[in-house]
Amino acid sequence: MANFDKELDARGLNCPLPILRTKKFLQEMGAGQTLRIIATDPGSVKDFQAFAKQTGNDLLESAEAGGEYTFLIKKKA
Amino acid sequence: MADKKLGIIASKGTLDWAYPPFILASTAAALGYEVQVFFTFYGLALLKKNLDLKVSPLGNPAMPMKMPFGPKWFQGINWNMPNALMANVPGFESLATVLMKQTVKNNGVASIAELRDLCREADVKMIACQMTVELFGFNHSDFIDGLEFGGAATFFEFAGETDVCLFI
């Protein structure tokens, strides 16, 4: 996975907490910066797609390995 | 594009019914919606300073009764409790509430207090129904700070402009 500016460990958290924490993290970041999120909630795959689509932030990567889901989001300009 | 708007009427005051309004309100706020929730009748219980929400499987046949501890095969058992037992055993509701809270915790689901705090941080506007406050003999001091007290007309001022409006 590409480089990132900040990381959010959302493992063990369930809907809607990973999304709410992500929103909070993004608020404190600058435009164009990237946030990596690690989650274990299987529902987060669709939820992060929907979050990116509705907020205009870019979902650069979405991957799954060993029951963990990682997402890379670039904050919109 | 102007922000989308979500309006919710929260009318239920049990632990299970407390989740949908707070989950939807906080998530919508994270997605950029402007959100207002109107708490009326039993929904007012969700705004109390001392949250003491309970859940009962009585008259709620779809609610699974599961044990949040022990080996996996044991946790998977759905305990079929006859209504007569649930109605007559003292403290059954408290037991069901304790079990559900533990299950919620085990699954990484937020508590109601946590979700309510997240809603407030995200500027979800909460309106308490003044009529119900009087009907049930509550005081404004029973409730958390930062509420607006109003009636149906207050809610419609916002509801009439919403993109999504839900009754829960």
Taking one residue from A and the other from B, the number of pairs with CB-CB distance under 8 angstroms is 35
> Shortest CB distance from A14 goes to which of B26, B31, B108?
B108
| pLDDT at position B2 | 61
Mutate to test the interface with A, among B1, B31, B120 (most CBs of A within 10 A): B31
| Reported ipTM | 0.83
Under the banding of pLDDT at 50, 70 and 90, the label for residue A1 is low
User: Residue A33 burial (CB < 10 Å; 0-12/13-18/19+)?
Assistant: middle
Tell me: the pLDDT tens digits for A15-69? 999 999 999 999 999 999 999 999 999 999 999 999 999 999 999 999 999 999 9
Kindly give, in sequence order, each residue whose CB lies less than 8 Å from that of residue B33, ignoring residues fewer than 6 positions away.
B3, B4, B5, B6, B163, B164
**Rg of chain A on CA atoms, in Å:** 11
Residue, of B119 and B2, whose pLDDT is higher = B119
**Given an 8 Å threshold on Cβ–Cβ distance, is A16 in contact with B108?**
no
> Shortest CB distance from A54 goes to which of B32, B118, B122?
B32
| pLDDT at position A66 | 93
**pTM of the predicted structure, to 2 decimals:** 0.88
Tell me: the pLDDT tens digits for B138-160? 999 999 999 999 999 999 999 99
Chain B residues with beta carbon closer than 8 angstroms to that of A55: 30-32
Tell me: the pLDDT tens digits for B81-116? 888 888 888 888 899 999 999 988 988 899 999 999
Average pLDDT score, chain B: 92
Q: Which residues of A are catalytic?
A: 15
**Given an 8 Å threshold on Cβ–Cβ distance, is A19 in contact with B30?**
yes
| pLDDT at position B1 | 45
Chain A residues with beta carbon closer than 8 angstroms to that of B110: 14, 16-17
Q: Which string of DSSP letters, residue by residue, matches B101-166? A: HHHHHHTTPPPHHHHHHHHHHTT-EEEEEHHHHHHTT--GGGB-SS-EEE-HHHHHHHHTT-SEEE
Under 8 Å between Cβ of A72 and A61: yes
Task: Give the CATH number of domain B5-52+111-167; options: 3.40.1260.10, 3.30.9.30, 3.40.50.1100, 1.25.40.10.
Answer: 3.40.1260.10
| CA atoms of B168 and B162, how far apart (whole Å) | 16
